[in-house]
Amino acid sequence: MAGHHHHVDPNAGDARVFWAVVVNLGLTVAQIIGGILSGSLAMIADAIHNLSDALSLVIAFLARKIARRPADSTMTFGYGRAEVVAALINYTTLIVIGLYLIYEAVMRFIEPEGVDGWLVVIIAGIALIVDAATALLTYSLSKESVNIRAAFVHNVADALGSIAVIVAGTLIILYDWRWIDPLVTLLIAGYILWMSFSEIGDVIRILMLGSPVDLKTEKVLDAMQRMDGVTGVHHFHLWQMQEHDNAVQAHLVVAAGRWNDADAIKAEVKCVLKDEFSIAHSTLELECSAHACIDPEQIGDERQPQPGSGHVHDHGEGEEQEHKGKH
């Protein structure tokens, strides 16, 4: 898939995701029935979360397929960000579910209801086994994909939720503590919200064309400006095309008297970007120092030229014009 590589066989990964979907859908049905029959809000909460797991895995499965499509005239950067969009949908869904569960738990505190502890423990035990199996199916894939990681977080939260439900059912059997059911629901909801908010920021950062979290913009700029034959860098952009694919776009000012070396200088800058910062996609526009942009922004888009400002890019010299803008 263009620009987004997984260190696992794609087809094997798809098979894992597919079976994880099947297992989660079956578990969801069982938990909803069990939650209704036992009167346990915590089990219904776990069922709703499991349903969101199944839906998130369906989205993840489709996103993996879409992301492998090559670039075309409509999507010239390719379809790799389909996985990032899927992750945003999944985390947003989790946040909504978490807030809803908090509301339901508070209402259950106000009006406690009877719960069949034995039924809760039996179904939650089965759910724990299924949750653990599903998490194992997606664990290795989660290391390489923000999309699959979002689905994996769902599974981990479910497994912990099932443990909590088992504890709640046991306490209801032993002591008839009905308040433990909404309390466990609050704990599940709190965990869901904490994990979702901790992960969604990186997803939004990618979609907002933010710089990579593990790269300092200033360090990349400094490395480029220290290169021999470079006197300045401006109109600089650093962003993530997809989760593991960083890109740079900038204007590179070539030192006076070095224009014949412009291509070699550009090639050296590209090598530094790739070797030191793992930036394989770089687009560099060359400018000779005598005709560089007037009062440019170092980071961000170039300003609109004012009449008579002299802000032009046409050097008017055949050799310079030939080099300008070459990639």
Write the DSSP string, 103-120.
HHHHHHHHS-----HHHH
Residue that terminates a domain, selected from 207, 235, 252: 207
201 plus 260 within the same structural domain = no
Task: Tell me the C-alpha distance between 99 and 202, whole Å.
Answer: 21
Within-domain flag for 83: yes
Residue 316: its pLDDT value, please? 37
193 plus 60 within the same structural domain = yes
129 plus 177 within the same structural domain = yes
CATH number, position 264: 3.30.70.1350
59 plus 185 within the same structural domain = yes
List C-alpha distances in Å: 212 to 169, 241, 249, 277, 278: 45, 10, 14, 10, 11
221 plus 202 within the same structural domain = no
Within-domain flag for 234: yes
Quickly tell me which residue has 């004012």 as its tokens: 306
143 plus 194 within the same structural domain = yes
Looking at the DSSP bridge assignments, the partners of residue 251 are 234, 285
Within-domain flag for 1: no
State which residues form the domain around 291: 217-323
86 plus 189 within the same structural domain = yes
200 plus 243 within the same structural domain = no
199 plus 223 within the same structural domain = no
DSSP 3-state assignment of 283?
strand
DSSP 3-state assignment of 282?
strand
Residue 146: its pLDDT value, please? 67
Q: Is 229 left (phi over 0), alpha (psi -120 to 50) or beta?
A: left
Residue 265: its pLDDT value, please? 93
Residue that terminates a domain, selected from 207, 228, 247: 207
CATH number, position 150: 1.20.1510.10
Within-domain flag for 37: yes
Q: How many domains does the chain have?
A: 2
Each residue of 63-86: b (16+ CB within 10 Å) or e?
Answer: bbebbbeeeeeeeeebbbbbbbbb
Decide if 227 contacts 265 (C-beta within 8 A).
Answer: yes
Residue 304 burial (CB < 10 Å; 0-12/13-18/19+)? exposed
Residue 307: its pLDDT value, please? 45
Residue 318: its pLDDT value, please? 38
Q: pLDDT tens digits, the chain, 327 residues: what are they?
A: 233 333 334 455 667 777 777 877 888 888 888 888 888 878 877 777 777 767 767 777 777 778 788 888 888 888 888 878 888 888 898 898 889 889 988 988 888 777 888 888 998 888 888 878 777 777 776 776 666 776 677 677 778 778 888 988 899 899 888 888 888 889 878 888 888 898 899 899 999 988 998 889 999 999 999 999 999 999 999 998 877 789 999 999 999 888 899 999 999 999 999 999 989 889 999 988 887 888 888 888 755 444 444 444 444 343 444 444 444
108 plus 195 within the same structural domain = yes
Residue 302: its pLDDT value, please? 56
155 plus 241 within the same structural domain = no
Within-domain flag for 3: no
Residue 225: its pLDDT value, please? 92
188 plus 94 within the same structural domain = yes
Rounded to 5°, angle at Cα 301 from 295 and 307: 50
For residue 306, the number of C-alpha atoms closer than 13 Å in the C-beta half-sphere is: 4
Residue that terminates a domain, selected from 182, 207, 232: 207
% of the chain surpassing 70 pLDDT: 84
The token pair that represents 75 in the structure block: 């999507």
